[in-house]
Structure 1
């Protein structure tokens, strides 16, 4: 009986681990980079990445989507408060990322548009 429970537990852990490593739909897969256009809100929002409270970018992929928090920023991009942006970005998978870091490194390709936010 104990051996059966141990076997089932091991199988469950392997299944959960495999699911945790599978890329989400539309995300960057293993060994492949992705490019996309994102909208960045004029203001950042507080967010938590572990014990520290930091400011995160608000991003979305189309104007009709709700804003989501982007925790790690975009390499080569400096956000200015009060300015809305449309960016072309590239996501590159990171091999063996630390537990508290993203598995994708996002970098700026180009700023497609930037304008002062409407009051």
Structure 2
């Protein structure tokens, strides 16, 4: 085997090992703070396992036009009170490797910006 072929093979192996050791940002959770609005009214959504209608709170992310109905437990650390509308600052974590039987986004209350009782 000639010297040039050996050097080429060794360079290819080194390049392969360096590429496999590089960091991959896709394997890290993405964390950001977002503003979420919670309606004083509730809605219903379809529960996935049994397809039953379930009551939940209506939320809208900052800039979104439509309300989305989610579980009352969707935002960790937040307790919904009927008849109140809220502006919340939450930590949104998009999981890089979510469990197979769960969502890939988690919300955690950072602080209640405002709360207003609607009569």
Name the CA shift for 1:64/1:73 in 2 (closer, same or farther; >3 Å): closer
Whether contact under 8 Å (1:56, 1:73) holds in the other structure is no
**TM-score normalised by L of structure 2:** 0.63
| Aligned counterpart, 2:113 | 112
Count the aligned residue pairs.
89
Question: SS at 1:81's partner residue?
Answer: coil
Name the CA shift for 1:113/1:34 in 2 (closer, same or farther; >3 Å): same
Does 2:32 align with 1:34? yes
Whether contact under 8 Å (1:39, 1:63) holds in the other structure is no
| Aligned counterpart, 2:11 | none
* CA shift for structure 1 position 37: 0.5
Q: Residues of 2 paired with 1:102 and 1:47: CA distance?
A: 16
Q: Residues of 2 paired with 1:90 and 1:113: CA distance?
A: 16
Name the CA shift for 1:98/1:55 in 2 (closer, same or farther; >3 Å): farther
Provide runs of 4+ in structure 1 moved above 3 Å.
Answer: none
Q: Kindly provide the CA deviation profile for residues 29-51 of structure 1, in whole angstroms up to 9, marking residues without a partner as x.
A: 95211210011001221111211
| Aligned counterpart, 2:47 | 49
Whether contact under 8 Å (1:74, 1:106) holds in the other structure is yes
My pick for the range that moved more, 73-82 or 43-52, is 43-52
Give 5+ residue unaligned stretches, structure 2: 1-26
Q: Residues of 2 paired with 1:53 and 1:69: CA distance?
A: 11
My pick for the range that moved more, 64-73 or 51-60, is 64-73
Considering only CA atoms, is the larger Rg found in Structure 1 or Structure 2?
A: 2
